[in-house]
Structure 1
Amino acid sequence: MGLNGKYSVGILLTFVLLGIMMLYVFPVISMITGVKTVTGNTFSLSRIALWAVLLITFLYSLFIEKGSFLLKIEKKYSIAFSIKAVIVLYLACVFGGAILNGLIQFLIHKEDGSKILQFTTLFKNDYFLIIFTCFTAGAVEELLMRGYIQPRIEKIYNSPLAGILVSAALFGILHSTYGTIGQVVVPFFIGVVFAMFYKKYSNIKILIVCHFMIDFVTLMAMNFIDFKHLSVF
């Protein structure tokens, strides 16, 4: 199998593992622990499962692809540039996502966010779970979607645009398990923004920090404000 073939298998493996994790991790945890409802502890175990997917992908790149996990060499930037980049990315994603979500709410009138509501109750005043969840999402999702998948798609099809759009589409699809159209469209939009930044600036750490901040601010807002007032999130 050629290198592009190994890249294809690696991308498929990563996406399938993430899909399985999103769909079946809670039933499996429930079967193992005997806990029938989603609690803070079981949710933490589900985040650990995400780290396991990252580890499997890393080992695949090391022993099967026999190359670097990150195909793009990380570029170093000043602290001032990094802070500015995080702020600009954050504002672009939050305001762009809010506009898209507002349009969806206007067109569809109301989406069923019961699953999101169920999860938000887990984070009430549990700041460790909030931080752990946000750090896991920022690190694991960025390393896999932008760091691993995007440059390999680009290599396979010899197209930066394909790398951006396919990685963003997969990012959106993985969020479909939350059950709303907004939870697909908005992550796709954020995925495009992040992928364009990664293509131009080759710095995954800035994306990890920005991803963390988006999730952290959202969960903290949900922690202090009634959920019904947070439709834009």
Structure 2
Amino acid sequence: MGLNGKYALGILLTFVFLAAAMLFAFPLIYALTGVKTFTATNFFYTRIALWTVLLLIFLYQFLIEKEPFLLWKEKKYSVLFYIKAVIGLYLICAFGGAFLNFIIQVFTQENLSRKVVQIASLFRNNYPLMISICLTAGVVEELLMRGYIQPRIEKIYNSPYLGIFVSAALFGILHSTYGTVGQVVIPFFIGIVFAVFYKTYSNIKILIISHFMYDFVSMMIMNFIDIKHLSAF
């Protein structure tokens, strides 16, 4: 198998493993623990499943590809650049996501994701769980979707545009487990923004920090408002 074939297999495994973790982690944890309720502990175990996926892809890259996990060398920037980049990415994603959510609400009148409501009830005032959720999303999703998948798609097809689009599309599709149109469209939009930034500036650390910040601020908002008003965010 050539290097592009190994890249393609790695991308497929990444998507399949992530999808399996998102779809089947809870049933598996319910079976193993015997606790068949949506609890903070069980939800924490699902985050371990996502870290396991990251470990498996690291092993695949190390043992099969034998190439650097991050094909694009990390560029160094000043602390001021980090601050401006993180704030800029947050504002673009927050305002862009809010606008898309408004449009979706106008045309579909869809209800808030039941899964989001359940999760919001779990982490209310549970700050360690909030941090673990945001840290897992920031590190695992950025390393896999932008750091691993995007450059490999570009290498296979020799197209930066496909790298950006496919990585963002897979990012959106994986969020379809939340059960609403908004939970696909908005992550796809964020995936595009992050992928363009990564292609332009080649710094995964800024994306990890930005992803963490976006999720943490969103959770803090949900933590302090009534559940019936969550659709506004």
Q: Compute the displacement of 1:112 (Å).
A: 4.6
What is aligned with 1:101? 101
Provide the secondary structure at the position in 1 that maps to 2:77. Answer: coil
What is aligned with 2:90? 90
Q: Compute the displacement of 1:38 (Å).
A: 1.4
What is aligned with 2:203? 203
Distance in 1 of aligned mates of 2:166 and 2:111: 26
Distance in 1 of aligned mates of 2:172 and 2:44: 22
What is aligned with 2:80? 80
What is aligned with 2:32? 32
Contact kept, 8 Å, 2:110 with 2:180, in 1: the verdict is no
Distance in 1 of aligned mates of 2:118 and 2:160: 38
Mark the runs of 5 or more structure 2 residues left unpaired by the alignment. Answer: none
What is aligned with 1:140? 140
Distance in 1 of aligned mates of 2:180 and 2:111: 6
> After the TM superposition, which residues 1-233 of structure 1 pair with which residues of structure 2 at under 5 Å, given as runs?
1-233=1-233
TM-score normalised over the length of structure 2: 0.99
| Count, aligned residues | 233
Deviations 1:38-79 (A, max 9, x none): 111111110011000000001100110011100000000000
Q: CA RMSD in A?
A: 0.7
Q: Compute the displacement of 1:229 (Å).
A: 1.7
Provide the secondary structure at the position in 1 that maps to 2:121. Answer: helix
Distance in 1 of aligned mates of 2:4 and 2:17: 20
Distance in 2 of aligned mates of 1:58 and 1:165: 23
Distance in 2 of aligned mates of 1:28 and 1:189: 31
Provide the secondary structure at the position in 1 that maps to 2:65. Answer: coil
Bigger drift between 109-118 and 29-38 goes to: 109-118
Contact kept, 8 Å, 1:165 with 1:192, in 2: the verdict is yes
Contact kept, 8 Å, 1:112 with 1:179, in 2: the verdict is no
TM-score normalised over the length of structure 1: 0.99
Distance in 2 of aligned mates of 1:124 and 1:131: 12
